[in-house]
């Protein structure tokens, strides 16, 4: 099993933006890593304290992830941290080596992992 990370930001604390961004991030993680949805063991979504308009995991349900265990949680509120950020941790049953996993950071969240630009 491997963990695949990612993050994305939204402009506003609005349900439609949170759901659209969460879906975009999930799609990007699945596509970049060629993940068969049947191989997903679980998905954890977290949000910064300024996002409470809806659960980002609803985007996964809306995409048909009916049997995948989902969890939403609130990030710790660290001064100076990135605002309006949704993070994801996808647990995937795979034989891929860790170095072949592609973590996905979109919009303002690319600042969270500058080191990945070198890969």
Q: What is the mean pLDDT of residues 92-118?
A: 90
Relative to beta strand 85-92, strand 2-9 is antiparallel
Given the residues 2, 17, 85, 105, the one annotated as active site: 105
Count the domains in the chain: 1
CA-based max dimension of the chain: 38
99 part of the active site: no
- Give me the domain span that covers residue 73: 2-118
Higher pLDDT, 116 or 24: 24
CATH of the domain at 24: 3.30.1330.40
Q: What is the pLDDT of residues 19-68, one digit of tens each?
A: 999 999 999 999 999 999 999 999 999 999 999 999 999 999 999 999 99
12 is annotated as an active-site residue: no
pTM for this entry: 0.93
Structure tokens at 100: 């072949």
Catalytic residue check, 111:
no
From the candidates 5, 17, 54, 85, which is the catalytic residue?
A: 5
Looking at 17, 84, 85, 87, which residue is catalytic?
Answer: 87
Query: Catalytic residue at 105?
Result: yes
Sheet holding 104-105, edge to edge: 70-74, 40-47, 85-92, 2-9, 104-105
Supply the pLDDT for residue 7: 98
């Amino acid at each position: 099993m491997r963990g695949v990370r990612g993050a994305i930001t939204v402009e506003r604390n609005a349900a439609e933006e949170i759901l659209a961004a969460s879906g975009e991030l999930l799609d990007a993680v699945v596509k970049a890593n060629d993940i068969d949805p049947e191989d997903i063991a679980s998905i954890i979504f977290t949000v910064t304290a300024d996002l409470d308009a809806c659960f980002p995991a609803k985007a996964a349900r809306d995409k048909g992830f009916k049997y995948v265990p989902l969890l939403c949680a609130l990030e710790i509120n660290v001064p100076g941290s990135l605002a309006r950020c949704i993070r994801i941790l996808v647990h995937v049953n795979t034989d891929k080596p860790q170095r072949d996993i592609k973590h996905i950071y979109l919009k303002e969240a690319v600042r969270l992992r500058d080191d990945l630009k070198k890969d």
